[in-house]
Amino acid sequence: MAQIEAGPVAYRRWLFVTACAYAVLHHLGLLPAGTARWRGTSWVDWLDLVVPYAALAPAALTLATARVTGRHWGVFAVGALAYTQGHGIHLAANSIGNADPGETAYLWDELAGHAIWYAGAAVVMFVLAATMARESPRAHPLGVLAALGVGATNALGGHTIPLAIVVALAGIGWGWTRRHTVAWLTGIAGAAALVVLAGAALV
């Protein structure tokens, strides 16, 4: 069995991939679904199936390269389970709602699904942020852009804005108190999130 490469270079590489995957994959809903459907589903529905795997796999590799403790893995597992369950609920209900809109589909998609999904994402981000507090503060400009992308990819959908505000403020606080490490990027992400939320409130 091949060993996973460790060290700061591998860690930062996978952290960057995780941030990019999160920022890109959470915008799949903006893609046009098109008119071709199979049993009421669109090609975007099927593409959306890969989101948990494509987002959580690099996150797990980030933790592996950071050589985290069992406690970190335990918290990550809780967040990953909530993330996948919430996303699955959202995907199924959203797909059904597209074909046959109704109150039940809306409840499981926009309310329950999103809340569980983003709560899980917040837990995963918490674990990743904990590893960032162990790294030197130097960050590549692309890392800053990735942090801005994560922050801009916020829980505007599904009526989870209160949760998004809490997570954004926590990111800013964590980044400020640990600004002597690369965790200062969480402050950048949190600030970007607040800007997005404020903009949404003004529209």
Q: Which residues, 6+ apart, have CB-to-CB distance to 33 below 8 Å? A: 42, 43, 44, 45, 98
Contacts 24+ apart (CB under 8 A), 111-114: 111/158, 111/159, 112/86, 113/86, 113/87, 113/89, 113/158, 114/86, 114/90, 114/155, 114/157, 114/158, 114/159, 114/160
Q: What is the pLDDT of residue 35?
A: 55
pLDDT beyond 50 at 79: yes
For the whole model, what pTM was predicted? 0.87
Q: What is the pLDDT of residue 200?
A: 76
Q: Of residues 51 and 177, which shows the higher confidence score?
A: 177
- What is the chain's Cα-based Rg? 17
Find the mean pLDDT for residues 71-88: 96
Chain centroid offset of residue 133 CA = 19
Q: Of residues 127 and 37, which shows the higher confidence score?
A: 127
Q: What is the pLDDT of residue 1?
A: 41
Q: What is the pLDDT of residue 15?
A: 97
**Residue 29: Cβ within 10 Å count:** 11
Three-state SS at 194 = helix
Are 122 and 167 in contact by the 8 Å Cβ rule? The answer is yes
Distance in angstroms (rounded) separating the CA atoms of residues 136 and 171: 18
Q: Which residues, 6+ apart, have CB-to-CB distance to 202 below 8 Å? A: none
Average pLDDT, rounded, for the chain? 87
Which percentage of the chain shows pLDDT scores above 70? 87
